[in-house]
Amino acid sequence: MAFLKRVFEVLQKDSYPTVCSFSENGESIIVHSIAEAEKSFLADVFNHSNYNSFVRQLNVYGFRKKRNSSMIEFSHPNFKRDRPDLIAYMARKGGKRKHSEITGDDVYVRTHPHQLGGLLGAPTPGGEETQLMYEMEMCRARLARTEEALFRTHAQAHEYISQLNHGMRTNASLVTSINELRGLLAGFPGGGQHVTQHVSQQGHF
């Protein structure tokens, strides 16, 4: 039931109006953008980016996708804006369950241990498998984010190395030019001191 309450809370607050929201009449859920929902709504609220998993959870609670809609729209008779009391009448497919029961999808909702209030007891039938599936999805999402971070770090390191190599080549070129200049000046009387002084007076050296 925590899954439903969390979804309702986010939609009621209209936290993601351009991504996922209640319909104009408040009787259905509209997903405006799957890609944006995965990056923001699902990632922030459920700590994963699996849109298909979100849809499966809606189906488990009896939501139906509207076929005649031009948008991605899901509805349930007891899921309406401004009516959180109706959620109590919604149940997972396969039968009703007690309010004290918590299954995998409820545990998966991002929450703090103290908020669970010690309600975590023995897993309900099928709940353990569901929880394991969600934990696997969470691990995959974290792995993807880690890989992305490593890729960015590798790219930055490569850029730093390129800049360092460029600086070293520039320095080597300057050293070569200075040595060549010294060699040229050495051929002048007095080691080219008068030439150096002349250039210095002209403000070029």
* pLDDT value at residue 120: 40
Q: Which residue has the higher pLDDT, 110 or 13?
A: 13
Q: Which residue has the higher pLDDT, 40 or 163?
A: 40
Q: What is the pLDDT of residues 53-97, one digit of tens each?
A: 999 999 999 999 998 778 899 999 999 999 999 999 998 886 544
pTM for the whole thing?
Answer: 0.47
CA 195 to chain CA mean position, Å: 65
Cβ 149 vs Cβ 157: under 8 Å: no
Contacts of 87 (CB under 8 A, 6+ apart): 1, 4, 5, 8, 78, 79
Alpha-helix residue ranges (DSSP H) falling in 13-126:
34-36, 42-45, 51-60, 104-108, 113-116
Q: What is the pLDDT of residues 164-177, one digit of tens each?
A: 877 788 888 888 88
